[in-house]
């Protein structure tokens, strides 16, 4: 449907193995992804998918992710 919310939360990685403590791509915990998706597709946010500072603080508390992870997830989800 082109909603932009089919983020990969499968838990599998297609990168080649674990690197020696490098910054490899880490996926968010599935429960965090489901909370973020629910916010994104909710009727009050669907047409303006930009969380306010208050929304961001609440989402970070609910999901346990940091601000950078939150901003990156929303940037990718809106694509």
- pLDDT digits 0-9 by tens, 37-51: 999 999 999 999 999
Q: Contact, 22 vs 16, CB < 8 A?
A: no
Helix (H, G, I), strand (E, B) or coil at 39: helix
How would you class 73 by CB atoms within 10 Å of its CB: exposed for 0-12, middle for 13-18, buried for 19 or more? buried
pTM above 0.85, yes or no: no
What pLDDT sits at residue 8?
Answer: 52
Reported as a single tens digit per residue, the pLDDT across 1-23 is 455 555 555 444 444 555 555 66
- Token pair of 66 as six digits: 């940091």
Q: Contact, 77 vs 49, CB < 8 A?
A: yes
């Amino acid at each position: 449907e082109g909603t932009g919310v089919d983020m990969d939360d499968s838990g599998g990685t297609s990168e080649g193995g674990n690197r020696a403590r490098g910054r490899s791509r880490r996926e968010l915990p599935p429960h965090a992804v489901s909370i973020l998706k629910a916010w994104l597709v909710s009727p009050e946010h669907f047409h303006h998918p930009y969380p306010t500072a208050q929304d961001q603080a609440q989402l970070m508390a609910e999901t346990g992710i940091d601000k950078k992870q939150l901003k990156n997830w929303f940037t990718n989800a809106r694509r």
